[in-house]
Amino acid sequence: MKIDHFEPIRVMRIIARMNVGGPAVQISGLMRGFDQSRFEQRLYTGYCGEDESDYLNEVAIDVIPHRVEGLGRRISLVSDAKVLIYMIREIRNFKPHIIHTHTAKAGVIGRLASLISLHKSTRIHTFHGHLLYGYFGPVKTRLVVFAERFLGSQTEVLVAVGHRVRAELLEAGIGKPEKFVVVPPGLSLGELIPKEVARKEFGLNSPDLVCGFVGRVTQIKRPDRFLDVVKELKIRGRAIQFIIAGDGELIEECRKRVLEENLPVTFLGWQNDISKVFSTLDLVILTSDNEGTPLSLIQAGLARLPVVSTNVGSILEVVQNGKTGFVTDKNVTSLTDAIEKLLFDPGLRQIIGNSAYEFTTNNFGVKRLVDDYQKLYLDSLI
């Protein structure tokens, strides 16, 4: 879609909800960082569930959204039809040059609204991950693939947050190679405070090393596997403290297990100041079954922390195995062995932490993210 050189580029961003997590951090960075003299941006989003924290309310209070009732996590034919009609009307009124959708539900509603509105816009959709593994059973997964194949054929640019995410989508028949671009996440981390100060504020007064699970406490993140690792390290007699910084539908189940098995885990809940969380840690652990490009591992690198992670999604694009952390299979023993190797070798922790900082600052900064998307938008309008 071509525009007049002096006309501001109108961008409509659509996401189902801005719950605390990777997509919300990325979109907030784009809303803040874009050249306001060149782009006019609107963010359309729904409301978070009762078991979630809203990033716009908790952290990015300076980003003002257009709230859309019903554009949340829950699927409802009646409610979603109303949202579709509302978005069609908004597209016709705003007349965006670019409609950029994020996450699955918003991707469906936003792109269908764009097609039905008959307004000529460049459609861009970002896959921050995908729903191909670990979310649904075979029937629902096939429906997701069918919908994404159709919508991909009607989308000018498909963005993946990592090369492996792109490859897995293409293997499923979603999109064509020439439509895909890879735009890795980009972010910044606030100022770190002394470790002893941060730990005192969280009530972590033990001299033990501290390992952290940072993120949503949901099934795909496998907090049960994390607790299995904690249990295994306890059995091995290792004096280590663990934290879970986050919330989600499995949090009470995790609390119950920690109490029943007397595991050394402290629950911090959602934290507005994520840099303070990373200030407490010696190591970050990720135990997921599926990921896009997890921001917690990038934040760990910015905090000079080594990581141990399962080998899923685009993890190997964020973690250089053996250099900035260790990437293992999903086996609890493999994860535990890697953690031990790092925790009890301070020199190795420091070397890997410094390498992680250099790698992440060079490849995953927020300025790079903004520059990448501004260029993508401009190129798509030529």
Tokens of 4: 């007049």
**Confidence tier at 187 by pLDDT (50, 70, 90):** confident
**Confidence tier at 178 by pLDDT (50, 70, 90):** very high
pLDDT score for 133: 63
* Strands 307-310 and 265-267, bridge-based pairing: unpaired
* Residue whose entry in the numeric block shows the structure tokens 């609390």: 255
> What's the residue count for the chain?
382
pLDDT digit string (tens) for 62-109?
999 999 999 987 888 899 999 999 999 999 999 999 999 998 899 999
Q: Are the beta carbons of 18 and 65 closer than 8 angstroms?
A: yes
d(CA 117, CA 326): 48
Beta strands in the chain (DSSP E): 9-15, 39-45, 66-67, 98-102, 122-127, 157-160, 180-182, 209-214, 240-245, 265-267, 283-286, 307-310, 325-328
pLDDT at residue 176 tops 80: yes
pLDDT score for 333: 97
Give the residue from 296, 210, 222 showing the smallest Cα distance to 254. Answer: 222
pLDDT digit string (tens) for 236-245?
998 899 999 9
More confident residue, 62 or 20: 62
DSSP 8-class letter at 8: P
Between CA 243 and CA 247, with CA 246 as vertex, the angle to 5 degrees is 125
pLDDT at residue 36 tops 90: yes
Which percentage of the chain shows pLDDT scores above 70? 97
**Confidence tier at 313 by pLDDT (50, 70, 90):** confident
More confident residue, 15 or 274: 15
* Residue whose entry in the numeric block shows the structure tokens 């840690």: 281
Q: Describe the strand order of the beta sheet including 180-182 as a list of residue ranges.
A: 66-67, 39-45, 9-15, 98-102, 122-127, 157-160, 180-182
C-alpha torsion sign, points 222, 223, 228, 230: positive
**Confidence tier at 292 by pLDDT (50, 70, 90):** confident
Q: What is the DSSP string of 320-345?
A: -BTTTEEEE-S-HHHHHHHHHHHHT-
pLDDT score for 132: 67
Please report, for the chain, how many H helices and E strands are present, in that order: 15, 13
pLDDT digit string (tens) for 331-362?
999 999 999 999 889 999 999 999 999 999 88
pLDDT digit string (tens) for 358-375?
999 889 988 899 999 999
CA 276 to each of CA 113, 115, 153, 194, 200: distance values in angstroms, whole numbers, following the listed order: 41, 44, 44, 9, 11
Q: What is the DSSP string of 165-177?
A: HHHHHHHTT-S-G
Domain architecture of the chain: domains with CATH:
9-187+365-380 (3.40.50.2000), 195-363 (3.40.50.2000)
pLDDT digit string (tens) for 104-158?
899 999 999 999 999 999 999 999 877 666 566 777 778 888 999 999 999 999 9
What phi, psi does 372 have (nearest 5°)?
-60, -45
Residue 301: which H helix or E strand, with range?
helix 295-302
* Residue whose entry in the numeric block shows the structure tokens 């090393």: 209
**What is the pTM assigned to this prediction?**
0.78
